[in-house]
Amino acid sequence: MIGFRRGEHAAGSRVGGMGAKGVRKEEERRRGVFTRRALLLGLGQVGLFGFLGSRLYRLQSEDGERYKTLAEENRVSARLISPPRGRVLDRAGTVVAGNRLNWRALLVAEQTQDVGATLETFSRIVPLTDQERARIEREVRRRRRFVPAIVREFLSWEDMARIEVNAPDLPGILIDVGTTRLYPEAEHLAHLVGYVAPPAERDMDGDPLLELPGIRVGRAGIERHHDLLLRGRAGAVQLEVNAVGRVIRELDRREGVPGQDVQISVDAELQKALRGRIEEGTSVVVMDVRNGELIAMASQPSFDPNVFNAGVSGAQWREWTRNRATPLINKATNGLYAPGSTFKMMVGLAALDARVVTPADRVFCPGHMDLGDTRFHCWNRNGHGSLDMRSAIKASCDVYFYEMAKRAGINRIAAMSKRFGLGVDLDIELPGTRRGLVPTREWREAQGKPWNLGDTIVHGIGQGFYQLTPLALATMTARLASGRAVQPHLTRAIGGRAVRGVRAEDWPSLGIPERDLKLMRDGMWAVVNEDGGTGKTGKLPGQYGAMAGKTGSVQVRRVTREQRERGYKAENQPREWRPHALFVGFAPADNPQYAVSVVVEHGISGSAAAAPIARDALVEVFNRLRVTPPGPRVADVRP
């Protein structure tokens, strides 16, 4: 008790000691401290609310549109739509390159945080090979992250169902339907129509269409030549999606512009008929003399272009490239052959043009020509006797044309040949077509070797350094028949509109005197239709009129004097040593409409092997095309 009182007394003493004035000061001091603290707290609150207000203002007024767009992008998925590729139609309107539906799985890299993990999950649902995963990852790196990459094409319904069920575990994966190329005629038109394949790095030219999944570009033939027309322009679709990317509904769609249809002049049924008639190593070209349209261009063997859609396996590619018959090469445009005796009309025209011979001048053929210590043989060992130009063409006398070449000279022969489309670039829509070679004295000297008279004589019968394609030989024949510089072409209409409505008179004249052309045509008529002609096996049945033509045989291996003395026979040699067989012709002879060229590799005789094929080809042409309406069938361009 005593202690308590002392403490209480002490406190009271301090307060009492302060007095009233001291108490007021203490209270003022405390209020000052409180006021300062309240002010600081208020200022802090004002600053905080001011900062929050400014941020809210910025979010609403300044950044509102941006965040609205971002939010909308989370809800709306915008995608480009690949346009359907234009079709390729034959002259009758039959689809020879079209499209079919293709269900596929795509990966959008920006919609997944880990591409590798997504692919690993996908591969447990639909197995992926290591090569497929490497391809997908390469495409993802190459493309912009919002551009889809193809994970798997040609999905079955079961595969699509499994992917959709597991969609929450597959961020970035979506199911899409596109189109893939379909070639109904398969190998029959492969060399002409060509094929498509995914674009490579070198194809990227800034066109966003090329970055779309499933897009294809032309790699050969008409598909390549008209690639830009066939592609079309991309469309766009807006889809509403949920948080895991599942499509809820379609909001808007803008269809792309489909590629234009291209109609070609080739008749698919005729092409199939010709390919069924020829064997390996044979090519046939049929051309309209009046306007240059190519009616058929068959090459054997061929390949199936549908294989390129899903990708060519290594085994398939090795099989193609190791095949000595070269199925990937169009022999009609890329096969190079010496023309043999089918070239003799060029030599005759060159001699007439140089005025070193007249049609009535005669040359005696004893079965050979001697030049120094070299003997040049005629195919007829017993000789043909005395011949003028018409009878020399009919009998295909080598000695006569040795003499014509000797008189005219190689440069005049080359100049005449080029007027007929030999050894020059031809205006045709098949990329990679070879121009071939028609040699001249300067060409040989540029190689550091002299041109001698013996070279000229050999070239007088279409042997030597000549390298010509069956297409060039068909063009030569069409120009012989028409007297005009007709150009071969395949495109008949684009988008339903004819692009080549030319007539024979629309092509420029070759500038060859009509009497000289008539002499060549008359000699070719005799080859097929007169006794003693070398091409009577090509004679047409009476109801189709007469065909004019010329046979040829080309050595691929030199026959020595010793072999001749031992009784050399080509049919007894290994196949690869046997001569090539050739034939060129046109019909009807009195009103030319169609020209044909045939090359049978190692066929030995143009008369026995090539002429019957040309005859059958023209019979097929007349049977089919005499009832075909002229011009493109516009109604068939798109159903």
Q: pLDDT value at position 59?
A: 62
Task: Give the domain-ending residue among 206, 234, 260.
Answer: 260
**One domain for residues 622 and 553:** yes
Cα–Cα distance, 263 to 176 (Å, whole number): 30
The count of C-alpha atoms lying within 13 angstroms of the C-alpha of 585, restricted to the half-sphere facing its C-beta, is 41
Q: Does position 50 have pLDDT exceeding 80, yes or no?
A: no
Q: Note whether residue 40 is domain-resident.
A: no
Distances (CA, A) of 539 to 357, 373, 455, 550: 30, 41, 34, 12
Q: Does position 627 have pLDDT exceeding 50, yes or no?
A: no
What does the pLDDT average to over 286-299?
95
Encoded tokens for 390? 């018409």
Q: pLDDT value at position 199?
A: 82
Percent of the chain with pLDDT over 70: 85
Band of residue 629 on the pLDDT scale cut at 50, 70, 90 = very low
Q: Does position 249 have pLDDT exceeding 80, yes or no?
A: no
Q: Which of 213-217, 352-356, 485-489 has the lowest mean pLDDT?
A: 213-217
**How many domains is the chain built from?**
2
Q: Does position 245 have pLDDT exceeding 60, yes or no?
A: no
**One domain for residues 235 and 277:** no
Q: pLDDT value at position 215?
A: 82
Q: What is the pTM of this model?
A: 0.79
What does the pLDDT average to over 152-181?
86
Encode pLDDT of 572-596 as tens digits.
788 788 899 999 999 999 999 999 9
**One domain for residues 586 and 547:** yes
**One domain for residues 533 and 602:** yes
**One domain for residues 178 and 284:** no
Q: Note whether residue 61 is domain-resident.
A: no
Q: Note whether residue 386 is domain-resident.
A: yes
Q: Note whether residue 586 is domain-resident.
A: yes
DSSP string, 256-325: -BPPPPEEES--HHHHHHHHHH--TTEEEEEEETTT-BEEEEEEES---TTHHHH---HHHHHHHHH-TT
Percent of the chain with pLDDT over 90: 54
Q: Note whether residue 30 is domain-resident.
A: no
Q: What is the CATH number of the domain that holds 349?
A: 3.40.710.10
Encode pLDDT of 327-364 as tens digits.
999 999 999 999 999 999 999 999 999 999 999 999 99
| Collapsed DSSP state (helix, strand, coil) of residue 248 | strand
Q: Which of 50-64, 166-180, 436-450 has the lowest mean pLDDT?
A: 50-64
Q: Note whether residue 570 is domain-resident.
A: yes
Can you list the alpha helix ranges (DSSP code H) found in 548-610? 561-565
Encode pLDDT of 373-394 as tens digits.
899 999 998 999 999 999 999 9
**One domain for residues 143 and 83:** yes
Q: pLDDT value at position 506?
A: 78
Q: pLDDT value at position 389?
A: 97
Band of residue 638 on the pLDDT scale cut at 50, 70, 90 = very low
Encode pLDDT of 494-553 as tens digits.
998 888 656 667 789 999 999 999 999 999 999 999 999 999 999 999 899 999 999 999
Task: Give the domain-ending residue among 260, 276, 292.
Answer: 260
**One domain for residues 117 and 197:** yes
**One domain for residues 287 and 209:** no
Q: pLDDT value at position 61?
A: 66
Q: pLDDT value at position 501?
A: 55
Can you give the residue range of the structural domain that contains 491? Answer: 268-302+329-634
**One domain for residues 298 and 231:** no
